[in-house]
Structures are given as structure tokens and as C-alpha cells.
Structure 1
């Protein structure tokens, strides 16, 4: 069994080093009418909106000058029906995190799923932030010598405060993500207890210290040009405490009281696949997700699971997962 898992992780690392799945490019310039609704909003550390673009009736793109990143970062916000007409009202916010190395970046949920249609009648802001090429939803350690990039602070402090102060986001929040974004959802939920009332992972890596998982994470970073991967969390042995502090599996007790949802396929051809796949990523996500949910149950922490069998590491399954997890997320949002 150990040898089989080692081969699986080795093949996964090879896939990641060769390159991510090809997806349609979203790099063309977007047109829209520039707006000024919340450009005066600032976070406590001075993060501010550089540019606000209203793409359409519901879609608002924000470029944020971020001290935590040392550069600007993008956020797409889907506005609920009535947002323009009710300036005195605040709204809960649903955060949707994309996976690693996604070329469509903060636009990916709107490009590859029906999230706009699905949330059209939901009374919530939908927040779609960038995580860069491989930000990994974390503060980078950098040997303790400097403080950027800090993707965690960009998301949970800068973006959150700007949305609350300029775009009428309220105090109820839920977070969901796919693949590394699934890690990000659980990571933020346990590191900031109470900030998110619900958290969902779709095909997420939820035990980053599972046998060969550190090797896969390193492969991701190297593939994206971060050849000195120790800049993120250091070495998994020498800096094990730092790795554990970011590992959902090692911090399940901090998720007590959060409504939780975890789903994954097994990599075999499923009902949403057009042809027989060669998928080494989804089986590994399934393995760490099952370890994580077993750990939750050992601690008596409730979790809703959907280990649905046949299905690959692809957008159609993550779109379906958003639909299936909505009751858990809606509970967290108070809807």
C-alpha cells in the first residue's frame, strides 16, 4: 500500500512539473465602465483600491495596492441583486478560492463555472481573489528576513476590510475553494477561528505533511519558478513546527464550531468526463481529504462529506461541488 501511494505521489509530482492542464486564456483586456463607489476605503495597513471597474451589472473588479504583497492584487466581486438600490444594507460574503497555477486567476470561477447564474438569486457578495501564480494562500517565511508576499494578510485583512468599509460586506462569511484553494479555505478557517462560519474544500490537499505531500508542494513551487521552495515554509523536517502551523490536519480542533464540507472524486472516469482520464491528482486529493475528515471525526467535529467515486480534477466537478455544498455554505452565511 505504501509503495502504491509513493508511486502515485511521484507521478503527481511529475505531472505538476511538466505543467498545469491547459485552459482557455483569460489574459485579454477587459472592458467596462470605471466606477468610484469604494475607492476611498482603506485597510488598517493602508491597502487601498487603485482602480475599480464595473464589468457588467453584477461584476466588479478591484485592483488593490497591497503592502502585504508588495504590489497590487486583483479581486473580482459579484454583487447581489439590490446592491445598487440599497446603499444602507450590508451583505454576507461568500469567498471562492481558485487552485494553484490557474492562468485565469481571479477570473477563473466566472470563466469555467456557472457561479454567476447560480448566485444570481443568492443574497450575498461573492468574492473571487487572486492568489498569484502559486501564492498558496499563505504568508511566505523568507527565512524570517522580510514580510512579503503575505497572501493570507492580503485576503483576510486587506481585502476583507476594504470590502467591509467600501462595499458593504457584513460580518457573516463563508469560504470554499478547489485543489490548493480547498487547502486555502480550511487554512483560513482554522487560522482565523470565527471569521468564516462555514468552509468547504473541493479536491483539496488537506494534509500537507502526508508522506509525500511536501514533495508535491515543492514540485508545484519549482514549476512556477520558485526554485528555492524553502522561502515559503522552510524545510518540512527542519521547520516542521512551521509546516504544522499551516496544516489543516494538525489543527482540526480550531475548526470546532465551523460548518464544514469536504468533497473529492477518485480520478476515475465519471459522469462529467467526456473520455477516460489519466488523473493522478484527484486520487491524492481524495487520500488527504479522507485523512482530514477522519481526524475531524476523531475529535468529534461534524463534517459533511461527498466522496463521490468516479470524477476527475476538473472544473465540471467543482461547479457541481459548489451546488452540492450550498446548504452548508448558506447556513454559514445566515441565508
Structure 2
């Protein structure tokens, strides 16, 4: 195992050691780094591994909401190692996972995704709100009622140091990873390419990685217009600007598949199916099939750049996991993706 003593981390970075609460409650959080805590952590169930807290930020003071969300209030879901409360000053690596569209971090399915593959694993998982259509980016032209929409600033400049200040993390690149599903897979590559000094490993689970693809552009534009992606809807150019040449410079610049050179020295993993039988559950089947096409583009660029990576193309899912048929956002597939990815992390990241 790779080890980093708590003393070394604290000495190098001058961080205090947050202590566990004696009453069995989840850790208490303190405002900081631009985030205001509006609801302290609460356990989601009696197992006391996963808690939810709520914060506000001036980087995204309002957003398009899904049912049950309050605009401007951001849920952050944290899953702790089972022994966190009794492990003294032990510090743990952190895995940030970005949800897809239109999803939210605080669902029962996501709790399974964070808890089941990390049983017995010394790893903290953090899942922030990314909105149904946030696309993990600083928007180019957010509408007046939602300005600003700086999701990247919120997550990278505020949330990461906020987590490091409030939990016993290993607050270095070698103790930090990012992954995501679908829209979140785009976000994970986008974040790791923009800030390679933050993450030692990046993973995409059926991510939409190629913004030069007209199909992918159509998918992004669709999220701006669908009420099911959040209310209110937003203009088609709100996130990345106009999606057509010669006004599409931001789309081109922000496309992860073509900018993998920034990942040199970072662990890289991609997972995708092919949709399986396209006549069964055709929407999710076709969505996965086309996401796979964007992963192939990213893989080709990684190969051309000579960047080592793991690419798991599990086709119809029959050889990947029981119940996985290669569809998009299919929980058995995602659980298998996460279990494999966590094994890669624990072979690479610094951990107890």
C-alpha cells in the first residue's frame, strides 16, 4: 500500500486535523472558501456511512432546479470509510464523482454507487450537485435570472479546499481522483484537463467526451431546452455559446477528446457499452451507443499522444456484470464500472 502519514500532510500544508464527533453524528462543517453551510451534515440512514450537507455559493447563486431542489442550495453527498470515526488522525484519499443528466447526487441509486464498491476501502467519496444541465463548466452566457453559472469555479476552487478543511483528507494530487457518468464523464475529463495539478486519476463512465461531434452538440443543446432537465430552461447558447461554425470556438476549446495531452502523467480510465439490442429500451440503448462513439475518439487521441490509459468497452454488458445489458445509466453496469475504477485508484493513490 502507498502511505502518507497524517503528520506529513499536516506539516506540509498547515491543515488542522478535523476530529470525529463523540455523539455519533457526522462531522460538523465550517463555512469557508466561498461556501456557506445552510444545512449541516445528516446521515442518510442508520448505517452512518453517507451524509448530505447543503451549501450556498456566489459562483452559482441560482440554478435550474429539478423537483425537490431549492435554487441556490447545493447538496453535497459524502460517503466515508467505515472506520472513519474511530481512526484517529488517519487521512484518506478523496474520490469526487460527478452525476449525469438529469440527475442529482442525493439519490438511492447514487448511494449504492458510492457505498457498495467501497466496502472495506479507505476512500472518501464526494458527490456535488451539478444541476440537471450544469455541464460542469463556467457558462458563457447564462440568462439574467441565473447569473453566474460558474460550476467549474464552484467545484474546483471552492468545494475541494472546503472538503480538505473539514474532513481528514490527503489534500494532494496523489490523494485525489475525479470521475463521472454521462454528463459527469464529460465533467471529469474537463476538470482533469483544466486542472491536472488537482487529480491523480480521472475516470469516465459512458461520458460524452467529444463536443466536435454534431450528435453530442445536439444532446447538449437538447438539455438546455427540455423542462425535464430543470426549470427554467435556458437559451441554446447559454453554456458553450452558439453551437455552429464560425461561432463555436468555445465548443471546440472545451471538448475533452481533443485535449487529452493535459492528462499526461494522470491515470486515465474510460468505460462504455454499445447499447446492446437497440430495439430494447431504444432511448438508453442509442444514447449509450453514441456516447461510445465519443469515447472512441478520446481513445484514439490518447493512443496518438502515447498516454497510457484503461479502456473498457463492455459491449452488450453480458460479460461485464449481471443485469448489465449495455444501456446508458444502467445501475448494474455503473456498479461494475465503479468497482473496477476504485480498484485502479487504490493501486495508485496514496492511502492508509
TM tier relative to shorter chain: 0.7 to 0.9
Return the alpha-carbon distance in structure 2 between the equivalents of residues 69 and 227 of structure 1: 15
Q: Is 1:230 the counterpart of 2:237 in the alignment? A: yes
Q: What is the rounded CA distance, in whole Å, between the counterparts of 2:131 and 2:25 in structure 1?
A: 25
Q: Distance in 2 between matches of 1:36 and 1:289?
A: 38
Does 2:85 correspond to 1:84?
A: yes
CA shift, 1:244, in A, is 2.5
How large is the Cα RMSD of the aligned pairs? 2.4
Match of 1:276 among 270, 280, 285: 280
Of 68-77 and 289-298, deviating more is: 68-77
Residue 337 of structure 2 is aligned to residue 321 of structure 1: yes
Q: CA deviation at 1:218?
A: 0.2
* Aligned with 2:54 (options 36, 50, 63): 63
Q: Which moved more, 1:72-81 or 1:229-238?
A: 229-238
Matched, 1:50 2:34: no
Give the equivalent residue in structure 2 for 1:202: 205
Q: Which moved more, 1:295-304 or 1:167-176?
A: 167-176
Q: In structure 2, what is the Cα distance between the partners aligned to 1:34 and 1:144? A: 44
Deviations 1:267-288 (A, max 9, x none): 1149xxxx93322101100100
Instruction: Tell me the secondary structure at the aligned position of residue 333 of structure 1.
Output: coil
Give the SS at the match of 2:77. Answer: strand
Is contact 2:143-2:238 (8 Å) kept?
no
Query: Are residues 1:218 and 2:221 paired?
Result: yes
Instruction: Give, in whole Å, the separation in 1 of the partners of 2:307 and 2:125.
Output: 27
In structure 2, the gaps of 5 or more residues are 1-22, 62-71, 317-325
Q: Does the CA contact (< 8 Å) of 2:206 and 2:273 recur in 1?
A: yes
Shift in CA distance, 36/66, structure 1 to aligned 2, threshold 3 Å: farther
**Is contact 2:109–2:331 with CA below 8 Å preserved after alignment?**
no
After superposition, the C-alpha distances for 1:131-161 in whole angstroms (9 at most, x for unaligned) are 1121111111127999611111121122111
Deviation at 1:331, TM superposition (A): 3.4
Does the CA-based 8 Å contact 2:257-2:297 persist in structure 1? yes
Cα distance change, pair 202–37 in 1 and its aligned pair in 2 (3 A) = closer
Q: Look up the match of 1:170.
A: 170
Between the aligned partners of 2:259 and 2:238, the Cα distance in structure 1 is 22
Match of 2:115 in 1: 116
Normalised by the length of structure 2, the TM-score is: 0.77
Alignment of 1:230-309 (within 5 A): 230-236=237-243, 237-269=245-277, 276-278=280-282, 279-309=285-315
SS in 1 for 2:148: coil
SS at match of 1:169: coil
How far residue 113 of structure 1 moved from its aligned partner, in angstroms, is 3.4
Q: Report the CA distance between 1:227 and its aligned residue.
A: 3.8
Cα pair distance change 1:111/1:234, threshold 3 Å:
closer
1:64 deviates by 0.9
**For residue 4 of structure 1, what is the aligned residue in structure 2?**
none
Partners of 1:167 and 1:41 in 2: how far apart?
13
Q: Which shifted more, 144-153 or 77-86?
A: 144-153
Q: Counterpart in 1 of 2:11?
A: none
Deviations 1:169-197 (A, max 9, x none): 22211111111111111111101012111
CA drift of 1:298 comes to 0.3
Q: Among 327, 346, 349, which residue is 1:312 paired with?
A: 327
Quote how far apart the aligned CAs of 1:245 are.
2.7
Is the CA contact 2:143–2:235 (under 8 Å) kept in the aligned structure 1?
A: no
Q: Do residues 186 (structure 1) and 189 (structure 2) align?
A: yes
1:156 aligns with 2:156: yes
Counterpart Cα distance in 1 of 2:25 and 2:40: 6
Aligned to 1:93: 94
SS at match of 2:85: coil
